[in-house]
Chain A
Amino acid sequence: MNSKTLTYILKRLVLAIFTVWVVITVTFFVMHAVPGGPFVGEKATTPAVQAAMEAKYGLDKPVGTQYMTYLKDIVTKFDFGPSLKQRGRMVTDIIGDGMKTSAKLGIMAAVAAAVVGIVLGAVAALRRNKFIDRIIMVITTAFVSMPAFIMGSLLLTLFAIKLGWLPANASAKAGVSGLILPVITLALYPAAYITRLTRSSMLDVLGQDYIRTARAKGVSGGKIIFGHALKNSLIPVLTYFGPMLAYIVTGSLVVEKIFAVPGIGRAFVNSITGRDYPLIMGTTIILATLIVVMNLLTDILYKVVDPRITLE
């Protein structure tokens, strides 16, 4: 790795931190500007209770002061504060619990989408315009255009109710079997997208001069595909990894609801409806950081896959 690359990575890191800081700041002030508060319920508490609660959590101070305290606690102590709704629990615990499941779900879906997508895309490209290619293209078109909540509901009806093969909830008790349907639901769209991406990219690469040269020199088919074609046709696919992660993170909000998955998405949504300020901040920061970091990693991966790319 040369110094240019290092400078680039450093620059990107600084930019990443800046991005997260902007997200924190905007979220913090917008969140406090939205009407309603964490201690407002259907059954009203007295003004004295409200005041006591606000004093307890420092919400009685000016928003600017709260913001500075919040930033200081995060930077110096990595302290995200207590949840205002789930009393007695710390934001880091809630996020930790949710992330365990969400990460498992997300990684499985990403891996499944990548593997299935690349394989099907390659097969379709190699069998261009044959029956199998047509089938793959029809199916992927369907999956790309079908929203997760419809796919999830269909899978639930078929496998959980009609056939009864898989559970309809992803609780710890259901174990791995409970994650199968959510993973499939979450992976279908990116898998279909990657298939189409791989196919067109592979077709492009297969038409290149160096492939023809390799063929002419008598290199075996397998070596051409794995040694030259596949690797080079994965670059466009890599660019999709950032957006795919964003899709999986946001898509999991829907999937978590349909399949009762104890992930971070639920904490995120509930924190907003309940005005649980520290939890809103915590989940937003984590999700923003995740997306920023994954985008950075994707860019660095380009360099690894294709040394011709210079990062600057």
Chain B
Amino acid sequence: MKKRIAAILLVLAMVLALAACGSKPQEEAAGSAEPAAASGSSISVCLASEPDTIDPALNSAVDGATLLAHLFSGLAKWSQDADGKLVIVPDAAEELVEGVVNDDGTVTYTYTLRDGLVWSDGQPVTAGDFAFAWQRAASPELAADYGYMFEVVDGYADMWETDADENFVNPDAQLNVKAVDDKTLEVTTASAIPYWNELLAFPTYFPVREDVVADDAWATDPSTYVCNGLYTLAGWDHNSLITLQKNPDHPDAAEVTMDTIECYLSDDANNMLTNFKNGDWDFIDDVPTNEIAALKTDYPDNFQVVGQIGTYYVCWNINEDILPAGSTLTGNEAEAAKAEIRNAISLLFDRNYIVEEIAQGGQVPASSFVAMGMTEPDGSEFYKNANNGEGGYFKVDADSLEANFNSAVETLKKYYTFDEASQKFTDFPTLTYLYNTSDAHKAIGEYLQSALAAVGITMNMENQEWATFLNTRKAGDYSIARNGWVADYNDPICFLDMWTSGSGNNDVQFGKGDHAAVTGYSLDLTPFGLDTKVEDGTWAETYDVLISAIKSCTDPETRFAMMHVAEDMLMETGCICPIYYYTDLYMIGDNVDGFFSNPLGYKYFMYCTKG
């Protein structure tokens, strides 16, 4: 009897459960714009969670850029040559022409589009599409995060010029770019830009068509998404799966070996790893930090570490008073003392320990701010030439640890009371370390805390949720904060121009608040053939001037030499304490060949094959 009751109820349960989900398969089949894609090669990848946007002009994320690199053909693209070296090659352009220097110092480039380029709806791609897309991406109306990538183009400064009330002065200004005819695009840059070709391969520079983007929601659904690249957007189940389908009409379609890219969307590294381990996903772009050690031994062929142009660092608020109570130092002397103290504290940290025991992702201990991976005109690495060829502003090898420590203590003894019995400083003001909520940042913060505690310096920890943290750090309401910067293009200027006094990324507050009046900086540009020579100037009179000089410099060697001067100035302040150069971690299946990624973190799956 009772068995029968149980049986009846169980059947009922099954019926109900089926009823709740029964209509699903048919619904999906009808709702999906995806054609029968069963045949051909297919790869399942997971880069991140739902992208905020896949409109090339609006995107500012690395995962979005990866998708866009598959969906669009800009004038140039990243490619891997026969030796596996990464190069920028023409894509929609016939060739990447040299610019013609005009009398006023501006440079004009004239590109011819390749034949046979069509949009995914069949219309031909024209030079006008590029011109339109660039005007749009740079415009105040769109207000794109990466609109400033066009600041090198003539006309951008006029478009964005504002009066004291933040009103635009020239509402009709445009970029100096025009379509001469359907095949010819002419663009003028404000000066010679060494990394111009790389910008052409940047998603913000990809073309879009005016009638397509007139619909604000065009980039949110496959039915309205019109692109011109190697792939088309075949399906998008929001928060779940983006499907890219090879575009047979692209002139380079014959080189594409992967027919379908299924891009799963997940925001959880543990979930990604599970799907990788059980074989559902061939590639994942994130791994849980606490699994790294195990993955290195268990999946040596799958777990990959590649360089990424970025630096993890700790920044000081330059206006934070760290001198002992009762210090008689004032003005420039106090500023110089603070710089010396901050530089000394930087020497107390064992970066090898942080990299090997905490971060564990193959990161490289950093001794300069401009990241590893930036190249000079002669092909050498920028960071190796830092500090007049010293290869860094201090030594980071394990053997130098003790010498670093001793020198730091000696320096600090000049300013603080040192108790020989306990080997600790007794009057260092209490510091607070601000970081955004994350186990990895916390672990590093705790290490820094213990390293300082060893010499008697108390540092409290304060964590804030991401958006609040950004706000606090930008506003300068902190004493020391966790920070990190990843380059947008392969040129050191993107690590240097963020520290001008007017920059929105100037978290250190150089030239802001009390520091605006500090006149402790010197700049001598006469060795570079310029008239500028400032002694005892403010940050704005020296560093800001130096950055503008770099930006208008056309000779690559001089330009790089000046960038080293800028980094010297930055590091001299001690406000930037580099910890490590970032790496990019991912896992890739044994059977996947032909994959490559670039130093900006973009992943390329089009030439993959699966064995």
**Which positions in A face B, CB cutoff 8 Å?**
34-37, 40-49, 51-53, 56, 82, 85-90, 93-94, 97-98, 101, 104, 107-108, 111-112, 115-116, 118-119, 122-123, 126, 153, 156-157, 160-161, 164, 167-173, 175-176, 179, 221-222, 225-226, 257-260, 262-263, 266-267, 270, 273-275
Give the docked Cα–Cα distance between A41 and B160 (Å): 20
Pull 26 A–B residue pairs with CB atoms less than 8 Å apart, ordered by A. A34-B467, A35-B468, A40-B470, A43-B145, A44-B504, A45-B504, A47-B504, A49-B140, A53-B143, A87-B55, A87-B216, A88-B216, A88-B218, A88-B219, A93-B220, A112-B13, A115-B13, A161-B274, A161-B278, A164-B278, A164-B279, A172-B28, A175-B25, A262-B238, A262-B265, A270-B267
Give the docked Cα–Cα distance between A45 and B470 (Å): 13
Q: A88-B55, A160-B278 are known contacts. Are A112 and B2 too (CB-CB below 8 A)?
A: no
- Minimum CB–CB distance for A112 against chain B, Å: 6
Give the docked Cα–Cα distance between A90 and B220 (Å): 10
Cβ 8 A contact of A175, one of B24, B278, B279:
B24
Residues of chain B in range 33-79 having any CB-CB distance to chain A below 8 Å: 49-50, 52-53, 55, 58, 60
Residue on B with the closest CB to A166? B278
- Minimum CB–CB distance for B286 against chain A, Å: 12
- Minimum CB–CB distance for A272 against chain B, Å: 9
Contact B55 A173 (CB under 8 A): no
**Which positions in B face A, CB cutoff 8 Å?**
1-2, 5-6, 9-10, 12-13, 16-17, 20-21, 24-25, 28, 32, 49-50, 52-53, 55, 58, 60, 140-141, 143-145, 147-148, 160, 162, 166, 168, 216-220, 237-241, 262, 264-268, 270-271, 274-275, 277-280, 465-468, 470-472, 474, 484, 488, 503-505
Give the docked Cα–Cα distance between A106 and B129 (Å): 47
- Minimum CB–CB distance for A111 against chain B, Å: 5
B5 contact set on A, CB distance < 8 A: 119, 122, 222, 225-226
- Minimum CB–CB distance for A101 against chain B, Å: 8
Q: A44-B505, A112-B17, A273-B465 are known contacts. Are A160 and B145 too (CB-CB below 8 A)?
A: no
Q: A104-B21, A108-B21, A171-B240 are known contacts. Are A275 and B140 too (CB-CB below 8 A)?
A: no
Cβ 8 A contact of A258, one of B144, B220, B268, B472:
B268
Give the docked Cα–Cα distance between A266 and B218 (Å): 23
Give the docked Cα–Cα distance between A188 and B185 (Å): 63
B216 contact set on A, CB distance < 8 A: 82, 87-88
Contact A262 B239 (CB under 8 A): yes
Q: A88-B218, A89-B217, A156-B274 are known contacts. Are A260 and B266 too (CB-CB below 8 A)?
A: yes
Contact B472 A45 (CB under 8 A): no
Contact B9 A119 (CB under 8 A): yes
Give the docked Cα–Cα distance between A34 and B466 (Å): 12
Interface of A is mostly: helix
B148 contact set on A, CB distance < 8 A: 45-46
* Most B Cβ at <10 Å: residue of A49, A51, A123, A260: A260
Contact B60 A41 (CB under 8 A): yes
Q: A40-B467, A266-B267 are known contacts. Are A35 and B9 too (CB-CB below 8 A)?
A: no
Give the docked Cα–Cα distance between A45 and B151 (Å): 13
Contact B140 A258 (CB under 8 A): no
- Minimum CB–CB distance for B493 against chain A, Å: 14
A94 contact set on B, CB distance < 8 A: 238
Cβ 8 A contact of B143, one of A35, A44, A45, A156:
A45
B266 contact set on A, CB distance < 8 A: 169, 260
Residue on A with the closest CB to B59? A87
Contact B240 A115 (CB under 8 A): no
